[in-house]
Structures are given as structure tokens and as C-alpha cells.
Amino acid sequence: MEGYNPPKRIAELLSETAQAKCKLSWLQLVILGILAGAYIGFGAELSTIVAYDMSERLGSGMARFMAGSVFSVGLMLVVIGGAELFTGNCLMALGLAGGKIPRMKMLKNWFWVYFANFAGSLVLVGITFGAGLWKVGGMGVGIKAMEVALSKCNLGWWEALFRGIGCNWLVCLAVWLAAGSNSVVGKIFGIYFPIMAFVASGFEHSIANMYFIPMGIFLKGTLAATKAGLDLANLTWGGFLLRNLIPVTIGNIIGGAFFVGILYRIAYLGKE
């Protein structure tokens, strides 16, 4: 079908993409990783702004749906605009499983991209905080941002791990579906539905959380925190790292690398 790549061809394309990613210099990985962290941060910021008071008016289900719908812009910017995102790069395991890329080169890519994504997320946290967007709606946006961050830091370790698996299974499927189309519009639709599904479901994305939780931490010293009246004891950098980022990252690797990359590699390219 014109404009459509069947699954076997998608697997071949993503294997080729993994090889190309291994050839990027550390400087390219850092620059593109910072951009991707900021792009996902834009999606996270937008979802907070759009849905902060929607559950009171239309119900929590519609609020989750709208938050997921607008969050999808982040991955659209990454895939179509061109950037390096750690969770999407978990699909490099497809190339590793096929012997197309060395393990150390894949790990090098993951290392530089992961920490560059973190840096990009923090840049956007600083910009958003400095812009005072948290004051929108009588500080309602700031209160919502802290509620979101706190809920993520209050997750149990295993809850965070399994939510991370579900998240990147869908995120990597979004990348997979985008690779199935040769048109920009097709890529947008391929990205939108899985990303909307993961956000609306409440799964956990390590790079998005590099925006959500630091933003909540930044807001702890503001009037929004006083107005919220929340118990913010777990909303700390240590809580972020130990209770959320580590288990979610492990879950993201399992969900993307195994459930999409390796299984599709076996299914469609196993004989090659």
C-alpha cells in the first residue's frame, strides 16, 4: 500500500535507524537529547495547563483524555522534528537482538541521551517556573502541578515499575506506528493514539517525570504550596530518584526494549 510500511518493513527500518544512532557523536547526542527532554516537557506542561481544572467540570476520565491528547505533541516534536529520546531509543534493542549494533554503542547512546533529556527537562522547568505559568487560574495550575508530582513520588516501587512497563510499551508502539507511515499526517496519527492511551491510563514515563516532579519541587516554596495545603514530605529530590525515577526507568526499558523491540525482532526478522 502506498505510503504505508508493513510491520516487517518497519522492523527493518528501525534496525537501520538503530545503526544510524550508533554513529552519532556524543555532542550530537547531547544536543538532540536536550531538545527531546524539552519537547517532552512542553507536552507535560501543556497537559497540566489544559487539564488542571477539567475534572471538576467534565469528570476525571475526560480530564485524563484531554491531558493525554495534548501531551502527544511532545513525541510528535521528537519524531518529526528530530531529537533523541531515551524511551524511544529503547527500540535500539531491535538492532542489538539482530546483531546489527554493538551492545556498548547502544549503552553509550542511552547514557548520553538519558542525562541530556534530564538537562533539557530542567531547562524547561526553569523557563516555565520563571514565566509564572503556575499562577494561571489563581495558582490552580501550580497546585495541580504539585498534586501530580506528589502522586508520582507516593507510588510504591513495584507500582512505579509496572507503570513504567506499560508506558514505554505504548510509547515505543507510537514510534513503531509512526515509522509505518511515509507522510507527516500519518506519523501524527500513529503517535497520537498510543500516547493519549498511556497518559490517560496513568502509566509512568521517566523523561516526562523529569519535568513533572522537579516542577513540583520548585513550587514547594511558593504561595501555591501554602494554598494547596498538601503534605509534601515525599516531594523531594531523594523521593524523586528512589521512589519514581529508578523504578520507572527500569520499567521503561523492559516495556520498550523487550515488549516491542525484541519481540517484534523475533516475530518479523527472526529468520534473517
Instruction: With beta carbons less than 8 A apart as the criterion, state whether 140 and 59 touch.
Output: no
Q: What is the mean pLDDT of residues 249-253?
A: 98
Q: What is the mean pLDDT of residues 146-157?
A: 97
Report whether pLDDT(91) > 90: yes
Report whether pLDDT(225) > 90: no
Q: Which residues pair with 181 in a beta bridge?
A: 4
Instruction: With beta carbons less than 8 A apart as the criterion, state whether 155 and 73 touch.
Output: no
- Residues 131-140: b if buried by 16+ CB within 10 A, e if exposed: eebbeeeebb
Name the percent of the chain lying above pLDDT 90.
92
Among residues 138, 171, 133, 129, the alpha carbon closest in space to that of 257 is found at: 171
Among residues 66, 106, 105, 32, the alpha carbon closest in space to that of 257 is found at: 106
The band of 250, judged by pLDDT with boundaries at 50, 70 and 90, is very high
Return the DSSP state at 261: I
Say which residues have a Cβ less than 8 Å from residue 198's Cβ, sequence separation at least 6.
Answer: 68, 166, 167, 170, 171, 205
Residue 86 confidence (pLDDT)? 98
Name the percent of the chain lying above pLDDT 70.
99
- For cell 544510524, what's the residue? 20
Q: How many CB atoms lie within 10 A of CB 125?
A: 24
The band of 158, judged by pLDDT with boundaries at 50, 70 and 90, is very high
Report whether pLDDT(185) > 80: yes
Return the DSSP state at 231: -
Residue 57 confidence (pLDDT)? 86
Return the DSSP state at 133: G
The sign of the CA dihedral 76, 78, 82, 87 is negative
Fold type of domain 7-269? Glycerol uptake facilitator protein (1.20.1080)
Residues in the chain: 272
Residue 1 confidence (pLDDT)? 56
CA dist 253 and 24 (Å) reads 21
DSSP 184-221: HHHHHHHHHHHHHHHHHHT---HHHHHHHHHHHHHGGG
pTM of the model: 0.95
- For cell 507516593, what's the residue? 154
- By CB atoms closer than 10 A (0-12, 13-18, 19+), residue 50 is middle
* Residue type at position 212: F
Which of 23-37, 127-141, 221-235, 241-255 has the weakest average pLDDT? 221-235
Residue 272 confidence (pLDDT)? 63
Residue 3: strand, helix, or coil: coil
Report whether pLDDT(172) > 80: yes
CA dist 149 and 42 (Å) reads 16
Residue 226 confidence (pLDDT)? 86
CA dist 80 and 46 (Å) reads 19
Among residues 207, 199, 196, the alpha carbon closest in space to that of 248 is found at: 207
Report whether pLDDT(235) > 90: yes
Report whether pLDDT(17) > 90: yes
CA angle 88, 82, 171 (to 5 degrees): 25
- Which of the two residues, 226 and 5, has the higher pLDDT score? 5
